[in-house]
Amino acid sequence: MTSFRGEHIGTVVFDLDGTLVDSVPDLAGSLDGLMREMGLEAIGVSATRKLIGHGIPNLVRGALDLRAVEWQDEQGKRAIKRFTELYSGRLSQETRPYPDVEQTLAVLADDGWRLAVCTNKIELYAKAILRDLGLAHFFPVIAGPDTFGVGKPDPRHLLETAREAGGGDPVIFVGDSEVDVATAKAAGVPVIAVSYGYAKSPLANLLPDALIDRFADIPQVVSGLAKAGAS
Ligand SMILES: O=C(O)COP(=O)(O)O
Ligand SMILES: [Mg+2]
């Protein structure tokens, strides 16, 4: 935990992949391991980026779609299980935080924000990665789609994460993808989109409350959004 001892001023909830950490090398490596075992052509890093954000089952399904493999339940379930085994052996092998993440989280915590993570990666893996990268201590709550039984874009995933973190207005969400902006809008929560992640289309089109290029911009932007919300 952080050294902050005062009254909290609100909650900032973060997406994980594409927002806090660049996880594509390990996801792509695991996916290509699966493709190799299935006798299929590799997917590669840039195509994998476009499949991230909707959880492991959708990642695997999207990869099989790209290789024109018709989805069959039994084979699909086996592929998901095998991908999960391969990925659990990598997690943070090449996954790294984006620039300034650790220092910026420390600034936010010192400013009095509660911090939490709302990701479509399963909780166990999200926690392991954040622990490996020395970031887990910032987050009293790290919630995957298995934590409350609902995943983004269902707004309950975000709302339950914020509630579990201790609630308190305002709640602000920071994410990198279409699914994050949709989740925040459905939840009625202001959203900051980061431009460096895995979105498939320009996020400005989805009208986030703010769009930033650098993680280090977050403290200034959240305080602006909090003031705008209060007035
Ligand atoms: O698609 C995933 O597995 C996780 O993605 P997220 O952390 O961006 O929600
Ligand atoms: Mg993401």
What does the H/E/C string look like for 102-135? Answer: HHHHHHHHHHCEEEEEECCCCHHHHHHHHHHCCC
Phi, psi angle pair for 215, to nearest 5°:
-60, -35
Contacts of 8 (CB under 8 A, 6+ apart): 112, 113, 114, 166, 168
Query: Of the CATH numbers 3.40.50.720, 3.40.50.300, 2.40.390.10, 3.40.50.1000, which one belongs to the domain with range 10-23+95-230?
Result: 3.40.50.1000
Q: Report the C-alpha gap between 11 and 2 in whole angstroms.
A: 14
Same fold for the pair 10-23+95-230 and 24-88: no
Task: Tally Cβ neighbours within 10 Å of residue 84.
Answer: 17
Task: Tally Cβ neighbours within 10 Å of residue 163.
Answer: 16
15 labelled ligand-binding: yes
Q: What is the pLDDT along the chain (231 residues), one digit of tens a residue?
A: 455 777 889 999 999 999 999 999 999 999 999 999 999 999 999 999 999 989 999 999 999 999 999 989 899 999 999 999 999 999 999 999 999 999 999 999 999 999 999 999 999 999 999 999 999 999 999 999 999 999 999 999 999 999 999 877 899 999 999 999 999 999 999 999 999 999 999 999 999 999 999 999 999 999 999 988 876
Q: Is 197 in the pocket of ligand 1 (CB under 6 A)?
A: no
Structure tokens at 199: 């979105």
Phi, psi angle pair for 11, to nearest 5°:
-130, 130
DSSP H or E segment with residue 13: strand 10-14
| C-alpha to C-alpha distances, 229 to 10, 35, 112, 225, nearest whole angstrom | 12, 48, 17, 6
Q: State the closest ligand 1 atom to the C-alpha of 122, by its place in the atom list counted from 1.
A: 3
Active site residue 15: yes
With contact defined as beta carbons under 8 Å apart, do 55 and 152 qualify? Answer: no
With contact defined as beta carbons under 8 Å apart, do 176 and 199 qualify? Answer: yes
CATH architecture of 24-88: Orthogonal Bundle (1.10)
DSSP H or E segment with residue 169: none
pTM of the model: 0.94
Q: Nearest bound ligand to CA 60?
A: 1
Domain boundaries along the sequence of the chain = 10-23+95-230, 24-88
110 labelled ligand-binding: no
> Which residue reads 């166990």 in tokens?
124
- Cα(132) to ligand 2 centroid in Å equals 19
